[in-house]
Chain A
Amino acid sequence: MTPVHFAFSSTFMLGLAGLAFHRYHLLSALLCLEGMMLSLFIALSLWTLQLDSTTFSSSPMLLLAFSACEASAGLALLVATARTHGTDRLQSLNLLQC
Chain B
Amino acid sequence: MNPYIMALLLFGLGLGTTITFASSHWLLAWMGLEINTLAIIPLMAQHHHPRAVEATTKYFLTQATAAAMLLFASTTNAWLTGEWDIQQMSHPLPTTMITLALALKIGLAPMHSWMPEVLQGLDLTTGLILSTWQKLAPFALFLQIHPNNSTILITLGLASTLVGGWGGLNQTQLRKILAYSSIAHLGWMTLVLQFAPSLTLLTLLTYFVMTFSAFLVFKLNKATTVNSLAISWAKTPILTSLAPLILLSLGGLPPLTGFLPKWLILQELTKQGLPLLATFAALTALLSLYFYLRLSYAMTLTMFPNNLAGSAPWRFHSPQLTLPLAVSTATAILTLPLAPAAMALFAP
Q: Answer yes or no: do A and B interact.
A: yes
State the A residues within 8 Å of B (CB). Answer: 2, 5, 8-9, 12, 16, 19, 26, 29, 33, 36-37, 39-40, 43-44, 47, 59, 62-63, 66, 69-70, 73-74, 77, 80-81, 83-85, 93, 95-98
Which residues does chain A contribute within 8 Å of B50, judged by CB atoms?
84-85, 95
Whether A80 and B53, one on each chain, are in contact in the complex, defined by CB atoms closer than 8 angstroms, is: yes
Q: Is the interface of B mostly helix, strand, loop or mixed?
A: helix
B31 part of interface (Cβ distance < 8 Å): yes
Q: Say which residue of B27, B49, B118 sits within 8 Å of A59 (CB atoms).
A: B27
Q: Say which residue of B45, B65, B75, B121 sits within 8 Å of A43 (CB atoms).
A: B75
Q: In the complex the two chains form, what is the Cα distance from A29 to B48 in whole Å? A: 22
In the complex, residue of chain B having the shortest beta-carbon distance to the beta carbon of A2: B79
With A5-B79, A66-B34, A85-B50 given, is the CB distance from A93 to B57 under 8 Å? yes
State the B residues within 8 Å of A (CB). Answer: 27, 30-31, 34, 37-38, 41, 45, 48-51, 53-58, 60-61, 64-65, 68-69, 71-72, 75-76, 78-80, 117-118, 120-121, 173, 176
In the complex, residue of chain A having the shortest beta-carbon distance to the beta carbon of B118: A96
With A33-B68, A96-B117, A96-B121 given, is the CB distance from A43 to B79 under 8 Å? yes
Q: Inter-chain contact count A-B, CB under 8 Å? A: 96
Q: In the complex the two chains form, what is the Cα distance from A36 to B65 in whole Å? A: 9
Most buried by A among B49, B71, B76, B117: B71
Most buried by A among B61, B69, B78, B121: B61
Question: From residue B98, how far is it (CB to closest CB) to chain A in Å?
Answer: 14
Which residues does chain B contribute within 8 Å of A85, judged by CB atoms?
50, 53-54
Whether B65 and A33, one on each chain, are in contact in the complex, defined by CB atoms closer than 8 angstroms, is: yes
Whether B75 and A69, one on each chain, are in contact in the complex, defined by CB atoms closer than 8 angstroms, is: no
Which residues does chain A contribute within 8 Å of B60, judged by CB atoms?
73-74, 77
Q: In the complex the two chains form, what is the Cα distance from A12 to B97 in whole Å? A: 13
Whether A77 and B41, one on each chain, are in contact in the complex, defined by CB atoms closer than 8 angstroms, is: yes
Which residues does chain B contribute within 8 Å of A40, judged by CB atoms?
68, 71-72, 75
Question: From residue A88, how far is it (CB to closest CB) to chain B in Å?
Answer: 10
Q: In the complex the two chains form, what is the Cα distance from A62 to B27 in whole Å? A: 9
Which residues does chain A contribute within 8 Å of B61, judged by CB atoms?
19, 29, 33
Q: Say which residue of A59, A63, A81, A83 sits within 8 Å of B57 (CB atoms).
A: A81
Which residues does chain B contribute within 8 Å of A36, judged by CB atoms?
68, 72
Other A-B pairs beyond A36-B72, A59-B27, 14, CB < 8 Å? A2-B79, A8-B75, A33-B68, A43-B79, A44-B75, A62-B31, A69-B34, A73-B41, A77-B56, A77-B57, A84-B48, A95-B51, A96-B54, A96-B121
